[in-house]
Chains A and B, each alone.
Chain A
Amino acid sequence: EIVLTQSPVTLSLSPGERATLSCRASQSISNWFLSWFQQKPGQPPRLLIYGASTRATGIPDRFSGSGSGTDFTLTISRLEPEDIAVYYCQQYRTSPLEVTFGGGTKVEI
């Protein structure tokens, strides 16, 4: 089983600051299958980044993804108050089939 470990668990920053969220996989995964989601209370997760670095439709350019192999990063270049949320990374392996999520990073402002 591929385990995704996210760090830090909680990130407390001020508006305008840069947020760097980490997602580490227990074994190498293809960039194709790595996504990032944002979840606010009472809502389903919202796709931010797919293919490790491609922004989803309508996502502001202050969100960016990078990384490869076992280490991936989500960066929020300038935090806005509406970015308060929990952020999850997710991977999809096809053989054997496995879909897993990280434990999440909570961003506080």
Chain B
Amino acid sequence: QVQLQQSGPGLVKPSQTLSLTCAISGDSVSSNNVTWIWIRQSPSRGLEWLGRTYYRSDWYYDYGVSVKSRIALNPDTSKNQISLQLNSVSPEDTAVYYCARVVTETGKPYYIDVWGKGTTVTVSS
């Protein structure tokens, strides 16, 4: 059974960097038939896709337009986890952050089948 264990601070100051980690059990971060994504949820923005990373003989990354200039996803094969870094945060980045797994078939993304429990992050001084 695949599980995603999230960790990271719940409070970040404005202009600083938000850092979260998603530890994977029951699957490999470099599995060839999945992608790993981060999503956030807030009352004002709803469910918002932030980015994805996946391994297909090399690592690939894609980021959402709203955060593209501030985000980085970093897979760590030694620890079987993925970290999220979001720079220069503002109160608008206050949200519940989720990591999740996307099943792919024939090279195409298919569905999101496993979610972490979520981390509530508040941006405030």
Secondary structure type dominating chain B contacts: strand
The count of residues in chain B whose C-beta lies closer than 8 Å to any C-beta of chain A is 20
Give the docked Cα–Cα distance between A78 and B107 (Å): 37
Are B47 and A47 in contact, CB atoms less than 8 angstroms apart? no
Contact B47 A35 (CB under 8 A): no
Name the distance in Å between A57's Cβ and chain B's nearest Cβ: 8
Q: Which of B37, B108, B115, B116 contacts A99 (CB 8 A)?
A: B37
Q: Which residues of chain A have C-beta atoms less than 8 A from B58's C-beta?
A: none
B47 near A44: Cβ-Cβ < 8 Å: no
In the docked arrangement, what's the CA distance between A89 and B48, Å?
13
Mark B residues whose CB is within 8 Å of A: 37, 46-49, 62, 64, 98, 100, 102, 108-113, 115-118
* A71–B49 CA distance with the chains assembled, in angstroms: 22
Assembled-state Cα–Cα distance A66/B51 (Å): 28
A47-B108 in contact (CB<8A):
no
